[in-house]
Amino acid sequence: MFLLYHIDLYTFIVYIIFKEKEVAMQVSKNRVRTNISLDKEAKEEAKKIFEKYGLSLSEAVNIFLYQSVYSMGIPFKIGIPNQETIEAMKNVRKGNNLEEITLEQLEYEINHCLK
């Protein structure tokens, strides 16, 4: 007899992360201290996210390292923006070429123009 369990994606991801943590803790008895330079704001924001999963920054980095080894590469897709996108990002950062838009206008654009 088979039992089917319904779990949402969030629960599944949390389960995988804790399983990875468990595996990492069992495998990594030989630890080495290292120094890396990180963006201060990104580090603090990431630590808040990792805390929600019960992970330290060190544990999260170890999970990333193990996944890199398992996948023999970066364990997620990294996209490089084209020149048009780079220029658009620069303009936004400078506050150029911005316009106010209402929620109704945005919904209209989504429903009529992007299909």
CA distances (Å), 26 to each of 21, 22, 56, 102, in order? Answer: 9, 6, 16, 52
What does the domain layout of the chain look like in residue ranges? 9-71, 83-113
Average pLDDT over residues 64-93: 88
Per-residue pLDDT at 21: 59
Least confident range from 18-22, 96-100, 101-105, 108-112: namely 18-22
Cα 30 off chain centre by = 27
Cα 97 off chain centre by = 29
Measured between alpha carbons, how far apart are the two ends of the chain, in Å?
A: 45
| The model's pTM | 0.48
